[in-house]
Amino acid sequence: MNRSHPSGEMPLRNGRMLSVDALSDQVRDGRIDTVIVAFTDMQGRLQGKRLHAHYFIDHALTEPVEGCHYLLAVDVEMNTVAGYADSGWETGYGDMCFVLDMATLRMMPHLPATALVQADVTWHDGTPVAYSPRTMLSRQLAKASALGYQALAGVELEFMVFHESYEQAADLGYRNLTPVNQYNSDYSILATSRVEPLLRDIRNAAFAAGMNVESAKGECNPGQHEIGFLYDEALVSADNTVVYKNMAKEIAAHHGKSLTFMPKFNAREGNSSHIHLSLRGLDDTLVFWDAATGTRTALYDHFIAGVLATMRDFALLYAPNINSYKRFSNRSFAPIKIGWGEDNRTCAVRLVGRGGGARLENRVPGGDANTYLALAAMLAGGLYGIEAELELPSPESGSAYVSDAPTMPLSLAEARDAFADSDMAQQLLGKDVVNHYTNMADVEVDAFSTVVTDWELQRSFERM
């Protein structure tokens, strides 16, 4: 089943995306033989199937594509776990339907003769799966639209690259890996030139796959880099981000290297996923900026206030894993305090730009964040701030690390409790969503509670 335009053909997001007609032509002449059908799971990963292209054209465009609903009820290791209301041994682990969004149809230029289409997931009666990440974002976008706004977003993702392949890294237990740069290469042209064969392939493949690539730059940790993309409609940016993350890892593997987005690989700077967000009117008018006075609008302030007011409760959606919270440390360029400031990188929310470029940057999410969930949380909080006309607290004028502003949860367990006990989360996201992601956190906290770490062995084996 597919979601198509009433005229029968989805308008293309840009000229590098694929229409169904173009896909059909390329399937018939043999240029495309595989179509990946994928949705995004709780962990922010693409999950799905590779369909033979002729089967896709002849059947998948009009008949259901299905997958087991345990895909939204497993841990990161794909283990079946208890506690989910809709998926378990007692429910028989049935199927859900992939509803193809043909606006996402694109070539995968780094894979031979392969296209990809992203999907929403529904139950057999057509009801959306409420806790599907893409559905959660779509619902917040629908609410924004009902209030007269569209959301624009851009995502900055940092990653670390190592000379070892994924197989070699696994064999080494992910220890003693060799970063592709041996020093802080933030903004260094020389350091990025050494990695340019890989970075160039990622940039060009992403562009050919319909993404609007902006730049690549070195970052602080050895082997750390960032590729940035131009802002777009929020759903488009989220769709592109999950495809890009998957693509970057695949291309790194093709180069015999490994690449990680994990938030905190070592004691140095972690990998962030800074998310820029703004609203405009449905007619593209500015609503965050008053051109006459050259200042922020009251609506913008209310939106920021809402994001801040819900940030502690929604921390689980920004930082969903045990490792996420290792990134939050003093003077690390990752925030600890829930405050805002003008172009202040020590704050959870940094305001940048003027006029049409006025936007907020959420600096809380790390490289492991599921962009759909993070954007859904930001929009839910911001729209609440607008509707409630929340007052914006005073900005942080210096280092927010020494501020008396509220503190972020500093562990997954703390974030889990804030989310589970939040009336605001239930109100803005729904009880089913809160229960589902609370259980996801429980699974991770329980799994980690039994692990003996290298740190414990080093400190305890002989000396205690």
Q: Residue by residue, what is the 3-state secondary structure of the chain?
A: CEECCCCCCCCCCCCCECCHHHHHHHHHCCCCCEEEEEEECCCCCEEEEEEEHHHHHHHHCCCCEEEEHHHHCECCCCCECCCCCCCCHHHCCCEEEEEEEHHHCEECCCCCCEEEEEEEEECCCCCECCCCHHHHHHHHHHHHHHCCEEEEEEEEEEEEEECCCHHHHHHCCCCCCCECCCCCCCCCHHHHHHCHHHHHHHHHHHHHCCCCEEEEEECCCCCEEEEEECCEEHHHHHHHHHHHHHHHHHHHHHCCCEEECCCCCCCCCCCEEEEEEEEEECCCCECCEECCCCEECHHHHHHHHHHHHCCCCCHHHHCCCHHHHHCCCCCCCCCCECCEEECCCCCCEEEECCHHHCEEEECCCECCCCHHHHHHHHHHHHHHHHHHCCCCCCCCCCCHHHCCCCECCCCHHHHHHHHHCCHHHHHHHCHHHHHHHHHHHHHHHHHHHCCCCHHHHHHHCCCC
Q: Is the pLDDT reported for residue 386 higher than 80?
A: yes
pLDDT in tens, 178-205: 999 999 999 999 999 999 999 999 999 9
Q: What confidence category does residue 7 fall into, taking pLDDT thresholds of 50, 70 and 90? A: very low
Average pLDDT over residues 337-365: 96
Q: What is the pLDDT of residue 252?
A: 98
Query: How much of the chain, in percent, has pLDDT values that exceed 70?
Result: 98
Q: What is the pLDDT of residue 9?
A: 65
Q: What is the pLDDT of residue 341?
A: 96
Average pLDDT over residues 69-85: 94
Q: What is the pLDDT of residue 2?
A: 64
The region of weakest confidence among 27-31, 126-130, 454-458 is 454-458
Q: Is the pLDDT reported for residue 413 higher than 80?
A: yes
In angstroms, the CA 422 to CA 377 distance is 13
Q: What confidence category does residue 5 fall into, taking pLDDT thresholds of 50, 70 and 90? A: very low
Q: What confidence category does residue 330 fall into, taking pLDDT thresholds of 50, 70 and 90? A: confident
Q: Is the pLDDT reported for residue 130 higher than 80?
A: yes
Q: Is the pLDDT reported for residue 6 higher than 50?
A: no
Token pair for residue 343? 């172009």
Torsion of the alpha carbons at 241, 245, 248 and 249, rounded to the nearest 10: -170
In angstroms, the CA 362 to CA 247 distance is 24
In angstroms, the CA 222 to CA 343 distance is 26
| Longest pairwise C-alpha distance within the chain | 73
Average pLDDT over residues 313-339: 95
Q: Is the pLDDT reported for residue 42 higher than 60?
A: yes
Q: What confidence category does residue 329 fall into, taking pLDDT thresholds of 50, 70 and 90? A: confident
Average pLDDT over residues 429-453: 97
Q: What is the pLDDT of residue 332?
A: 86
Q: Is the pLDDT reported for residue 321 higher than 90?
A: yes
Token pair for residue 216? 């690549």
Average pLDDT over residues 275-292: 97
Backbone angles phi, psi at 414, to 5 degrees: -65, -40
